[in-house]
Chains A and B, each alone.
Chain A
Amino acid sequence: GDSVTQMEGPVTLSEEACLTINCTYTATGYPSLFWYVQYPGEGLQLLLKATKADDKGSNKGFEATYRKETTSFHLEKGSVQVSDSAVYFCALSHTGNQFYFGTGTSLTVIP
C-alpha cells in the first residue's frame, strides 16, 4: 500500500543554518506530494505541494522537488529562522482527500 517515510527528529538548528528534511514515498501510480507544517497549538497547514514529477513546490523560502526516480520529496530551506520552529509532515494523496502522512519531524531553531 501507499506509505511515506520521513526523517526522524527532533532536529535542532541555529538560526540561518540550512535545513533538509528527507521524505521518501511508496505509492501506486502518480500521487501528489505535500509538506504540511504544524506550529505549536495550531492545526496542520499546507506548506507546499507538487502534483507531478520534476515539479518544485515552494513557499516561505521552503522548497521541495518531486523526484520520481528516487521517489523522494525532500524539504529544504537555505536559511532557517526561529519562527520556522514547528513539526513538518510529508504526505501523499491520489485524490486530494485521502492522505498518507509520515511521522512528522520536529524542528527547533535556536537564536
Chain B
Amino acid sequence: GAVVSQHPSRVICKSGTSVKIECRSLDFQATTMFWYRQFPKKSLMLMATSNEGSKATYEQGVEKDKFLINHASLTLSTLTVTSAHPEDSSFYICSAVPGQGSEKLFFGSGTQLSVL
C-alpha cells in the first residue's frame, strides 16, 4: 500500500526555537496534504490543508504565521513550528491524498513535539 513517511517521530526543543516536520509520500504523488494536531485526550484536529504549489488553507484558530506550511513538491510537505512554546507541545500528524478526487487518505506515523 501507499506509504507516507513523517520525520522526525519525536523532537524535544527549547522554548523559542523553530522545529521543522517533514511529510513525504514515498510511492505516489500527493496533490493535497493535511496536517493534524492532537493534544492529550483530545481529538485529532485538522490544522491546515496544503496543495502543491499554492498557499495552505488554515483552519479557524490556527496561526498561519506560527505554523508555516510549505508544499513545494508533489511528494513533500513541511510544517515548521516557529518560536515554539510549551503550549505547542502536541502530537502532529500528516496525511496525503494521491491525485485529484481520490477518497483514499494515507497517514504518516506522527511527530511528538515537546517544548521545554
Task: Give A residues with C-beta under 8 Å from B.
Answer: 3-4, 6, 8, 36, 38, 41-46, 89, 96-104
Contacts and interface: CB of A to CB of B under 8 A. Distances in A.
Interface stretch (B13-21, B61-69, B103-111): B103-111
A45 B97 contact: no
Interface in B1-20: 1, 4, 6, 9
B105 A97 contact: yes
B107 A43 contact: yes
A103 B105 contact: no
B43 A103 contact: yes
Given A43-B4, A96-B105, A101 B44 contact: yes
Given A97-B32, A97-B97, A101-B36, A43 B44 contact: no
A101 B44 CA distance: 6
Interface string B77-114: 00000000000000001010100001111111110000
Nearest to B108: A43
B104 to A, nearest CB: 8
Contacts of A101: 36, 43-45
Contacts of B32: 97
Given A43-B6, A44-B93, A103-B41, A98 B109 contact: no
A42 B6 CA distance: 10
A40 B2 CA distance: 18
Contacts of A45: 1, 107
B24 to A, nearest CB: 12
Given A96-B102, A97-B97, A103 B42 contact: yes
Nearest to A40: B109
Contacts of A102: 43
B49 interface: yes
Given A97-B32, A97-B34, A97-B97, A44 B107 contact: yes
B46 interface: yes
Contacts of B34: 97-99
Contacts of B46: 98-100
A44 B3 CA distance: 11
Contacts of A43: 4, 6, 93, 95, 106-110
